[in-house]
């Protein structure tokens, strides 16, 4: 969501039409939440991403992102595919993160995970936004 909000702040268009993406409060909130996620999951008190509220937030943000990045008129399909991907990945990435934490520690494993996720998200958004000009 933060990558999409950043693209929209840079006046780049996404193929899917979602009115929320044009609201300044939403764009700013998505950027703040993205930064908060980067810092929050390094805390020892951070809950697993598979708790109910974590999964709910993941479902909502995946649905919005999937709809925004889907071709025009296919927003519902994009949202459905994104949610269907995000939920199982929450469990898979949690298992991987726990293994990495045992070897590297919480902060280092979190930084590596964040670097991979930020790069992947920015790359996907850049590729889709670049095609939708």
pLDDT digits (tens, 9 = 90+) for 37-94: 888 777 778 788 899 998 998 999 899 999 999 999 999 999 999 999 999 999 999 9
Mean pLDDT of the chain: 88
Q: 94: part of which helix (H) or strand (E)?
A: helix 75-104
Percent of the chain with pLDDT over 90: 47
Residue 49 in tokens: 């991403």
| pTM: predicted TM-score of the whole model, two decimal places | 0.83
Residue 37 vs residue 112, higher pLDDT: 112
**Inter-residue long-range contacts of 17-21, CB under 8 Å, 24+ positions, other chains counted:** 17/72, 17/75, 18/64, 18/67, 18/68, 18/75, 20/64, 21/68
In terms of residue numbers, what domain contains 44? 2-131
Q: Phi then psi for 55, rounded to 5 degrees?
A: -70, -40
Q: How many domains in the chain?
A: 1
């Amino acid at each position: 969501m933060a990558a999409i909000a950043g693209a929209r702040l840079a006046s780049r268009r996404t193929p899917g039409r979602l009115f929320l993406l044009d609201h300044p409060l939403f764009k700013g909130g998505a950027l703040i939440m993205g930064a908060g996620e980067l810092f929050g999951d390094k805390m020892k008190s951070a809950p697993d991403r598979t708790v109910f509220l974590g999964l709910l937030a993941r479902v909502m943000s995946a649905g919005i992102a999937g709809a925004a990045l889907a071709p025009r008129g296919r927003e519902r399909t994009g949202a459905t595919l994104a949610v269907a991907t995000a939920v199982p990945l929450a469990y898979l990435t949690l298992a991987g993160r726990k293994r990495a934490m045992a070897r590297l520690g919480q902060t280092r494993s979190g930084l590596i995970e964040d670097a991979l996720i930020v790069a992947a998200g920015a790359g996907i958004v850049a590729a889709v936004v670049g095609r939708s000009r």
